[in-house]
Amino acid sequence: MTGIQEWFSNFCDLFYKCFIKEDRYKLLVSGVGVTIKVSLLAVVIGIMIGILIAMCNLSKRKLPKVIGGIYTDVIRGTPSVTQLMIIYFVVFANVNLNKWIIAAIAFGINSGAYVSEIIRGGILSVDHGQTEAGRSLGLNAFQTMTRIVIPQAVKNIFPALCNEFIVLIKETAIVGYVGLMDIQKAGDFIKSATFKAFMPLIGTAVIYYVLIKILTLVLRRVEISLRKSDVR
């Protein structure tokens, strides 16, 4: 029992030094807020850009297809950390905006390329007969897309969109490159202050896991509600 007691005593001492002493836990709490703010705004921006680029890629006109293709190719072909630094240090270098908003824009632009392909694939997965049925009922192309095709596509692409949002939350761990104190940066700060790596890293991993687990459960509930009308 002596060995277990000693281990437990050392664990408590390490926990105190890393999280309780000098209120270091507040850094992680603040980091959670930054991560959530950046992720939520990035999701909104990513969906808006994704819908627009998906429509460009599905367009029969050459110019929109070229624009959509170039955007998707460039964003998916370059690292997200590089995009973040270009947008922060170059594009918005002289713009007076909060750091977290700029970071959210960068992640939204990055996510938009992947969301656009998810949306495009979902729309193409809907049987073409659905479009023909809508047109035969007197609906125009826009009405057919918004009232018939997209509602069916949403159910098909929802799991993939959920996965993209989860990946997005984890990708925000690089916002420390532009000086934002998110969860990962807070953990790094505690590690540097205490010269202890294990506890801060495990702490940040647990926080990310809990956040993503909560999001997964919420999105699973939404998916179940969307699938209620399915007959299988």
Where along the chain do its domains lie? 30-179
Lowest mean pLDDT among 75-84, 103-112, 117-126, 135-144: 135-144
With a CB cutoff of 8 Å and minimum separation 6, the contacts of 179 are 99
Give percent above pLDDT 70 in the chain. 97
Reported as a single tens digit per residue, the pLDDT across 16-25 is 899 999 899 9
Reported as a single tens digit per residue, the pLDDT across 35-65 is 999 999 999 999 999 999 999 998 888 999 9
With a CB cutoff of 8 Å and minimum separation 6, the contacts of 143 are 134
Give percent above pLDDT 90 in the chain. 59
pLDDT for residue 230: 61
pLDDT at 1 over 70: no
Q: How confident is the model at residue 229 (pLDDT cuts 50, 70, 90)?
A: low
Average pLDDT value over all residues in the chain: 88
pLDDT for residue 227: 72
Element (H, E) at 166: helix 150-171
Rg value, the chain, Cα: 22
pLDDT, mean of residues 59-76: 92
Rounded to the nearest 10°, the torsion over CA 6, 7, 10, 14 is: -170
pLDDT at 136 over 80: no
Q: Does domain 30-179 have CATH number 1.10.1040.10?
A: no
